[in-house]
Amino acid sequence: MDYQKEFIISEEVIEALKNNQPVVALESSIISHGMPYPVNIETALMAEETVRKYGAIPATIGVYQGKIVVGLSNEQIIAISNDPNNPETKAMKASVKGLPYAVSQKLNAGLTIAGILRCASIAGIRVMATGGIGGVAKGGEISMDVSADLEEMALSSVAIVGAGCKSILDIGRTKEYLETKDVPVIGLQTDSFPAFFTPKSEYRIDYRMNNIDEAAAFMKAKWDLGFKGSVILANPVPDEFAMDEDKINAAIDEATRLAEELNIKGEKSTPFLLSKVCELTNGDSLKTNIEIIRNNTKVAALVAKAYCQLV
């Protein structure tokens, strides 16, 4: 069996890449594990629409019945949605380590940022949109819980538009880890490393840029120089959708305490914290999350367009 055949790029995406048209890769673990059904599907479809509205082609990447698909159809997006009442929509969470498992066992899977970066890079897609990046967990200096996202960012040459990282993580150590891996963090109209639900944290980005053309020029410079690895484009949540800092931090602290009490570790940890935070804020965190996705997919489409004009 030749597993190369299990990597499928949609016709539309192939065509766009061939003609140097902008393409934006979209993350799918947010569908399978990051948001509850059916908001997960609505948000995934909204993300695709937003990318199109701002002039790029969306490529949601996931594993459907053992095939890695770059450019999932709407039906395939539904098939990885983990609808609790429909066993056919069951999907695992896959980082790069889980991809061969999903493929060889013919499973459905939603891909983490690490997984998306690897597949986007193989397909030749240079920009991805996500919500927030994975990073060093709270207490990660002892547990060594560091997301594979950070390692993959050093390997795959893709720009990531994200709203920083949630304070379910240790933001300071996440920034230090990126520093060690030489992954640049560009602040889009900000000097502060965004904390996902709020536009600012006490940590700084590396380079501030006030417009998208500068960011695209940075990407081109990095990759033209032959340097591999990602570029993080930190795009803070718009003020009108930001959460109250005390409220969100209280929910995060309580979710973190519960995870410890229940001894939740490894790849189960992030999905558990995300769903607990959503529950503890009565869905307010989910509303903010959706607006962040809208904003990031818009900016990612504009970045992809600007980058295509340079190459």
**Contact status, residue 136 vs residue 177, Cβ threshold 8 Å:** yes
| Nearest alpha-carbon partner for 4 in 60, 72, 67 | 67
Which sign, positive or negative, has the C-alpha torsion 199, 250, 113, 40? negative
**Contact status, residue 114 vs residue 95, Cβ threshold 8 Å:** yes
Stretch that binds Mn ion, among 137-145, 189-197, 208-216, 271-279 (CB under 5 A): 137-145
Answer for which of 6, 27, 48, 145 binds Mn ion (CB under 5 A) is: 145
Catalytic site includes residue 53: no
At 218, give phi and psi (nearest 5°).
Answer: -60, -45
Per CB under 6 A, does 131 bind ligand PSU?
Answer: yes
Per CB under 5 A, does 170 bind Mn ion?
Answer: no
Catalytic site includes residue 11: no
Residue 218: which residues within 8 A CB-CB, separation 6 or more? 184, 186, 207, 209, 231
Per CB under 6 A, does 48 bind ligand PSU?
Answer: no
Per CB under 6 A, does 148 bind ligand PSU?
Answer: yes
**Contact status, residue 88 vs residue 54, Cβ threshold 8 Å:** no
How many residues are listed for the chain in this entry? 311
From the list Mn ion, ligand PSU, none, partner contacted by residue 113 (C-beta under 5 to 8 A by kind): ligand PSU
Q: Count of alpha carbons within 13 Å of 96, Cβ hemisphere only?
A: 16
Answer for which of 126, 138, 166, 175 binds ligand PSU (CB under 6 A) is: 166
From the list ligand PSU, Mn ion, none, partner contacted by residue 54 (C-beta under 5 to 8 A by kind): none
From the list Mn ion, ligand PSU, none, partner contacted by residue 229 (C-beta under 5 to 8 A by kind): none
Stretch that binds Mn ion, among 85-93, 141-149, 209-217, 277-285 (CB under 5 A): 141-149
> What does the binding site for ligand PSU look like in residue numbers (CB under 6 A)?
27, 29-30, 34, 112-113, 131-132, 134, 147-149, 166, 196, 267, 270, 274
Would you name the residues annotated as active-site residues? Answer: 27, 166
